[in-house]
């Protein structure tokens, strides 16, 4: 069993005569267990991320309480896909994602430990499911056995997944289902599902530029060229030590850390209107009028162009800092607006209403 309140969830096991008592419990009801015993949870059998487990014995009492409706039928702790690299192997995670691509069903062998701790092999079927969200990355989910057919024919739909298991095989990050633990919910009327689907299908989304987090596959499950290849994660020190980006050779890497912005620094500047030039515009006098001059293009123009130049400081997980400058092309893709339009919007006054939505699911 799994018990939860509004702050989290924990596994529970009933022993001996308490099994009959537990069978009378109902999903979604509110219960109190006085003086419940807690023990360390087992990584082999836990369905939650809690390090403790509730033990219910024959002399324990369980009382049903009046439910105020405050506690949802299922507790979720949602994670964005680009945050999955932070978690340890075999961690359970919940996520809301788009089903982007499906692979062909694959037969294979799965290793597991029985109740005595002996390692065994089992023939399994699974379907490779590529999931994405608006965090910037895709991830591979291996949907085993009865989970696989539930994805067939659902490309482009949004799904809520509870208790997907993180798999860090080969120093790569993927997800997999776990029997009797992972739950799949398709809720077309759910507000969060509608928002993510609208983003994915909108012409201005960056869904076609997202990269695939998973970088290790079996021979039968290598993704097609539609996906951007896995981008390696580096520290700031490794970037300089490995000479990445040196000698004018461009390379793509990911840096995990925090970014700081400084409000006293302008994020736009007046530049040459040539779309292939980002040089700062220079003032040049011409009689009684002011004109602008580009030292790079060697041209004169009457009106300069507003372009982005955002300075930020990155601090990686090792504590090293480095300055980053994002120029016009990158910022236009991030904001979806030209610099002149964003500046004009910043000068206006707005009334903002914040609406909080929660995902609900249950029996």
Query: d(Cα 138, Cα 241) in Å, to the nearest integer?
Result: 28
> Under the phi-then-psi rule, with left for phi > 0, alpha for psi from -120 to 50, and beta for the rest, what region is 278?
alpha
254 or 55, which is more confident?
55
- Predicted pLDDT of residue 260: 87
Which of helix, strand or coil describes residue 67?
coil
Residue 46 has pLDDT above 70, yes or no: no
259 or 333, which is more confident?
259
Query: d(Cα 97, Cα 351) in Å, to the nearest integer?
Result: 31
Please say whether the beta carbons of 308 and 339 come within 8 A.
yes
77-81, 89-93, 163-167, 273-277: which has the minimum mean pLDDT? 273-277
Residue 246 has pLDDT above 90, yes or no: no
80-84, 159-163, 287-291: which has the minimum mean pLDDT? 287-291
Pick the CATH number of 81-212 from 3.30.450.20, 2.60.120.380, 3.10.20.600, 2.40.50.140: 2.40.50.140
- Predicted pLDDT of residue 177: 92
The ranges assigned to domains in the chain are 2-65, 81-212, 236-346
CATH class of the domain at 2-65: mainly beta
pLDDT tens string 8-25:
788 888 888 888 877 888
Please say whether the beta carbons of 94 and 76 come within 8 A.
yes
- Predicted pLDDT of residue 119: 77
pLDDT tens string 88-146:
888 889 999 999 888 877 776 666 666 677 777 766 688 889 998 888 788 999 998 88
Query: d(Cα 45, Cα 325) in Å, to the nearest integer?
Result: 48
Q: Provide the mean pLDDT of the chain.
A: 80
CATH homologous superfamily of 236-346: Nucleic acid-binding proteins (2.40.50.140)
Q: How confident is the model at residue 159 (pLDDT cuts 50, 70, 90)?
A: very high
User: Percent of the chain, pLDDT > 90?
Assistant: 7
Please say whether the beta carbons of 102 and 157 come within 8 A.
no
- Predicted pLDDT of residue 330: 78
In CATH terms, are 2-65 and 236-346 the same topology?
Answer: yes
Confidence (pTM): 0.57
């Amino acid at each position: 069993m799994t018990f939860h309140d509004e702050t989290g969830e924990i596994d529970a096991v009933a022993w001996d005569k308490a099994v009959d008592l537990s069978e009378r419990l109902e999903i979604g009801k509110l219960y109190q267990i006085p003086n419940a015993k807690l023990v360390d949870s087992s990584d082999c059998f836990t369905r939650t991320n809690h390090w403790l487990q509730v033990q219910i014995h024959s002399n324990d009492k369980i009382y049903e309480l009046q439910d105020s409706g405050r506690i949802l039928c299922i507790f979720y702790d949602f994670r964005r896909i680009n945050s999955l690299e932070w978690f340890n192997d075999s961690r359970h995670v919940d996520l809301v994602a788009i089903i982007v691509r499906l692979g062909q069903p694959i037969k294979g062998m799965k290793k597991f430990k029985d109740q005595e701790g002996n390692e065994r092999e089992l023939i399994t079927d699974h379907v490779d499911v590529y999931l994405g969200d608006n965090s910037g990355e895709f991830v591979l989910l291996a949907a085993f056995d009865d989970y696989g057919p539930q994805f067939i024919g659902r490309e482009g739909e949004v799904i809520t997944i509870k208790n997907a298991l993180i798999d860090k095989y080969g120093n790569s990050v993927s997800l997999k289902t776990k029997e009797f633990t992972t739950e799949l919910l398709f809720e077309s009327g759910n507000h969060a599902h509608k928002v993510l689907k609208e983003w994915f299908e909108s012409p201005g989304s960056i869904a076609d530029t997202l990269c695939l987090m998973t970088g290790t596959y079996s021979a039968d499950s290598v993704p097609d060229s539609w996906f951007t290849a896995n981008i390696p994660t580096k520290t700031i020190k490794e970037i300089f030590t490995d000479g990445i980006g040196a000698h004018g050779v461009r390379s793509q890497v990911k840096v995990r850390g925090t970014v700081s912005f400084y409000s006293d620094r302008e994020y736009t500047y007046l530049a040459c209107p040539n779309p292939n030039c980002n040089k700062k515009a220079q003032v040049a006098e011409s009689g009684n009028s002011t004109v602008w001059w580009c030292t790079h293009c060697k041209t004169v123009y009457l009106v300069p162009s507003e372009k982005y130049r955002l300075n930020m400081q990155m601090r990686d997980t090792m504590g090293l800092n480095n300055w980053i400058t994002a120029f016009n092309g990158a910022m236009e893709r991030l904001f979806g607006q030209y610099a002149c339009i964003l500046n004009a919007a910043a000068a206006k006054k707005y009334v903002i209403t914040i609406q909080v939505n929660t995902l609900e699911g249950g029996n």
